Structure 1
Amino acid sequence: MVLISEIVQTFILADFCYYYIKSVFGGQLVLRLPSGVV
C-alpha cells in the first residue's frame, strides 16, 4: 500500500511540474521571443 501511495504521489508531483513548466515557458517565452526578435 505504501508503494501505491508513493507512485500516486510521484505522478501528481510530475503532473504538477509539467503544467507549471508549460505555463512558465508558454507565458514567458511567448512574450520574450517577439521582443527578442524585434
Structure 2
Amino acid sequence: SLSVPIASKLLKCLHVRLINRYCCTMNHKSRRSWEIE
C-alpha cells in the first residue's frame, strides 16, 4: 500500500516537470501574450 502514494508522487513530479518545460518553451516562443497581461 506504501508503493502507491510513492508512485503517484513520482508521476506528479514528472507531470509538473513536463508542464514547466512546456510553459518555458511556449514563453520563449510567444512573449506577446505575457506582455499583454
TM-score exceeds 0.5: yes
Aligned-residue Cα RMSD (Å) equals 1.2
* Runs of 4+ residues over 3 Å off in structure 1: none
What's the counterpart of residue 15 of structure 1?
Answer: 13
RCO comparison, higher one (Cα < 8 Å, 6+): 2
TM-score, normalising length from structure 2?
0.72
- Give the greater-gyration-radius structure (CA): 1
Which is richer in helix? 1
Gaps in structure 2 of 5+ consecutive residues: none
How many residue pairs match? The answer is 33
User: What does the per-residue CA deviation read over 1:1-38, in whole Å, with 9 as the maximum and x for residues that have no partner?
Assistant: xx2110111011000001000000011122111xx35x
TM-score, normalising length from structure 1?
0.71
Gaps in structure 1 of 5+ consecutive residues: none
